Amino acid sequence: MGHTDAVAHDPSDRVRRGHLPALRAGRNSRSSEPEERRVDIMDVSPFADGAAYVKGRFVPIAEAAIPVTDWGFTRSDAVYDVVHVFGGGFFRLNDHLDRFTRSMQARRLNPLEDRAAIEAVLHRCVALTGLRDAYVAMVASRGRPRVTGSRRPADCDNHLIAYAIPWIDVIPKDVQERGAHLWIASTPRVPDASVDPTVKNYQWSDLTSGLMEAHDHGYDTAILCDAQGFVTEGPGFNIFIVKDGKVVTPDRGSLHGITRKSVLELCAMMGIPAQVAPLPRAELEDADEVFAATTAGGVMPVSRVGGRILGNDRPGPVSLALKEAYWRKHAEGWHHTPVRPLEFA
Ligand code: PLP
């Protein structure tokens, strides 16, 4: 213990660590550096790993921080949204901004930036990184009370955080290819009346417990049922089943996902019957096909649910057709908003 503390408080270690971001950021390069090394360092954009907006300033992602006393951290008192950028454009940006606005209103969060300013911040975060494909988050945090020790949410200065980082798949691409293995968690989803799942939030204890159960059993990810035995959602995605050619996604315990909306629209275009309806656990276990859907990954086929192997242990045909259509429509410019160049962002 003492040894660990000594290492953590070694000032030379702090200095060493303190230098790293500056060097990566291409700043403070020292004249003692060899010439070629200095050139390399200067070539690296400070925003290459991501750009963030915190307390009114744009900073490299590694420098983005909030105070430890922010209620967004101490109480998960925050709402957020995530939109992706694919091929240089946002996908369904207005839908994400609409949902973020509804989430903020539901939790009485009111940062200084209005909708147009939030939109501009998102464009600028992406433009700073130069990324063509990105994961872009917007967060409204309760902040800290103006009156020390106050327990009144209304005493806090709410604030906006946003960031753009390289693309993320919540289920890795190789796992999507073979079909994800989905564990049905024993942890029930928190009741809708306690934490409204349509307000995108960071209260993830139940979802994280599900993930830990899944990993303990050698599965890729988890799906949670509510206390009444109805299927809800997983850590970062909505779930769909296909039974006798019909697509069903749960009507409760889950976020109104923007990808879910896209899947339902694609089903309508492709003549596939689809429904938002109660989904008892037994129907998930008896499905012909299962797939997950999220902004950070798109349509992600599942090949195993609990102990059951679906089809031939590979993604099913309806799931694959929807996945193909989802990305083809992206390439065709469906719901695409080009990222504003830096000079206009
Ligand atoms: N459910 C949860 C809990 C999520 O966190 C997410 C996305 O992050 C989703 C569902 C899918 O929503 P969307 O398609 O809008 O990304």
Residue 88 belongs to domain with CATH number: 3.30.470.10
Q: Of the candidates 207, 212, 254, which has an alpha carbon nearest to the alpha carbon of residue 235?
A: 207
Report yes or no on 325 lying in a domain.
Answer: no
Q: What pLDDT, on the 0 to 100 scale, is given for residue 33?
A: 44
Instruction: Give the pLDDT of the chain (345 residues) as one tens digit per residue.
Output: 233 332 222 222 322 222 222 222 333 333 444 444 444 544 578 999 999 999 999 999 999 999 999 999 999 999 999 999 999 999 999 999 999 999 999 999 999 999 999 999 999 999 999 999 999 999 999 999 999 999 999 999 999 999 999 999 999 999 999 999 999 999 999 999 999 999 999 999 999 999 999 999 999 999 999 999 999 999 999 999 999 999 999 999 999 999 999 999 999 999 999 999 999 999 999 999 999 999 999 999 999 999 999 999 999 999 999 999 999 999 999 999 999 999 887
**Closest approach atom of ligand 1 to CA 197:** 3
The residue count for the chain: 345
Is there a single domain that holds both residue 198 and residue 244? yes
Nearest CA to ligand 1 atom 12: 257
Interval between CA 345 and ligand 1 midpoint (Å): 27
**Closest approach atom of ligand 1 to CA 170:** 8
Interval between CA 31 and ligand 1 midpoint (Å): 48
Is there a single domain that holds both residue 182 and residue 96? no
Total domains in the chain come to 2
Nearest CA to ligand 1 atom 6: 236
With beta carbons less than 8 A apart as the criterion, state whether 25 and 49 touch.
no
Interval between CA 237 and ligand 1 midpoint (Å): 5
Is there a single domain that holds both residue 42 and residue 183? no
Report yes or no on 327 lying in a domain.
Answer: no
Q: What pLDDT, on the 0 to 100 scale, is given for residue 43?
A: 55
Nearest CA to ligand 1 atom 2: 236
What type of residue is 271?
G
Tokens 């307390």 correspond to what residue? 55
- Residue 164 CB-half CA count within 13 A: 28
Is there a single domain that holds both residue 198 and residue 161? no
Triad 278, 282, 285: Cα angle to 5°: 115
Is there a single domain that holds both residue 157 and residue 189? no
Positive or negative torsion for Cα 321, 323, 324, 330: positive
Nearest CA to ligand 1 atom 10: 237
Strands (E), 2-69: 51-54, 57-60
Please enumerate in sequence order all residues whose Cβ is within 8 A of that of 312, keeping only pairs 6 or more positions apart, or say none: none
The structure's pTM equals 0.88
Rounded Cα–Cα distance for residues 11 and 104 (Å): 42
**Closest approach atom of ligand 1 to CA 96:** 15
Report yes or no on 53 lying in a domain.
Answer: yes
Q: List Cα–Cα distances, 153 to 3, 55, 108, 132, 197, in angstroms.
A: 41, 19, 9, 38, 21
Is there a single domain that holds both residue 155 and residue 24? yes
What's the Rg (C-alpha) of the chain?
22
Interval between CA 121 and ligand 1 midpoint (Å): 22
Task: Give burial (CB, 10 Å; 0-12/13-18/19+) of 280.
Answer: middle
Q: Which domain holds residue 179?
A: 173-314
Rounded Cα–Cα distance for residues 2 and 254 (Å): 46
In 3-state terms, what secondary structure has residue 249?
Answer: strand
Nearest CA to ligand 1 atom 3: 236
Ligand 1 near 319 CB (within 6 A) = no
Is there a single domain that holds both residue 208 and residue 287? yes
What type of residue is 81?
D
Is there a single domain that holds both residue 263 and residue 309? yes
Ligand 1 near 295 CB (within 6 A) = yes
Nearest CA to ligand 1 atom 9: 237
Interval between CA 257 and ligand 1 midpoint (Å): 5
Check which CATH number belongs to the domain holding 294 and give it.
3.20.10.10
Report the chain's terminal Cα–Cα distance, integer Å. Answer: 49
**Closest approach atom of ligand 1 to CA 259:** 14
Report yes or no on 203 lying in a domain.
Answer: yes
Interval between CA 23 and ligand 1 midpoint (Å): 36
Rounded Cα–Cα distance for residues 196 and 263 (Å): 22
